Amino acid sequence: MFTGIIEEIGKIKKIRTGSDTCVLTVSAGKILSDIHIGDSIAVNGTCLTVCEFDNTGFSADVMPETMRRTNLGSLKAGSPVNLERAMSAQGRFGGHIVSGHIDGTGIVKSLKKEKNAVWVQISVKPELLKYIVEKGSIAIDGISLTVAEMTNQDFSVSIIPHTGEETILLKKKSGDTVNLECDIIAKYVEKLCNFKNPSGDISKNFLAEHGFL
């Protein structure tokens, strides 16, 4: 489990590609202080397992499902990436519950400065937008952020200077792809509500039948 508080910005050293798979080698510093084979590290919010490491970085396998769901396939040598180690039992829970399991991607529409903040607007497909709520939590490339505004096609977040300096989000430009992980609670609520109601229609009668009214 992760919290969405980015620990450092790493850099892709090498990509060994296969058929719909790859092995990413990432240069890092801070997160190497207690790294082990088998550890989970979020790379742009995607939970990857360390298969090799040395004193300059680590490598991780990326499977086809991960390539389909994330922006990792668009990375190249030299690309900066957000890095976060799995949360320790002694750590502070500074962000929100982030699993590192990416739901899909969004497209950066615009970046607009407002005094000390930068507004980032992201377009997203309806199947993901339904899980996003104003003032709710969203992980963008692994960064725990608060949804500030929404329309029926996109959502916006407002980035403070610290987040801008410590992550890669403000290095993005219009048209770039970002990884999105929606709040896990919304997905579980949908699953439970639809478990005995395959149509997905939540009517007044359905709520009363199951004790909600």
Instruction: For residue 47, count other CB atoms closer than 10 A to its CB.
Output: 21
In one-letter notation, the amino acid at residue 129 is L
Query: pLDDT tens across 113-145, in order?
Result: 999 999 999 999 999 999 999 999 999 999 999
Q: Is residue 161 in some structural domain?
A: yes
* Among 86-95, 99-108, 197-206, the least confident range: 197-206
User: When comparing pLDDT for 206 and 115, which is higher?
Assistant: 115
| Domain membership flag for residue 115 | yes
β-bridge mates for residue 145, sequence order: 138
Residue 111 shares a structural domain with residue 179: yes
Rounded to an integer, what distance in angstroms lies between the CA atom of residue 72 and that of residue 109? Answer: 19
- What is the reported pLDDT for 202? 65
53 token code pair: 């490491």
Element (H, E) at 194: helix 184-194
3 state DSSP class of 163: helix
CA 137, distance to chain mean position in Å, is 11
pLDDT at 201: 64
Cα–Cα distance between 182 and 117 in angstroms, integer? 23
199 in any annotated domain = no
Question: 165 — phi, psi (to 5°)?
Answer: -80, -30
Give yes or no: residues 109 and 179 share one domain.
yes
Residue 99 inside a domain? The answer is no
Question: Does the predicted model carry a pTM greater than 0.75?
Answer: yes
List the structure tokens of 119.
């507004």
Number of domains into which the chain is organized? 2
Share of the chain above pLDDT 70, in %: 95
Q: Cα–chain-centroid distance for residue 12?
A: 18
Please give the pLDDT value at position 209: 78
Which range of residues forms the domain containing residue 78?
8-85
Mean pLDDT of 30-56: 97
Q: Kindly report, residue by residue over 162-187, the tens digit of the pLDDT.
A: 999 999 999 999 999 999 999 888 88
Distance CA 123, CA 128 (A): 10
Confidence band for 6, pLDDT divided at 50, 70 and 90: very high
* pLDDT computed for residue 197 by the predictor: 63
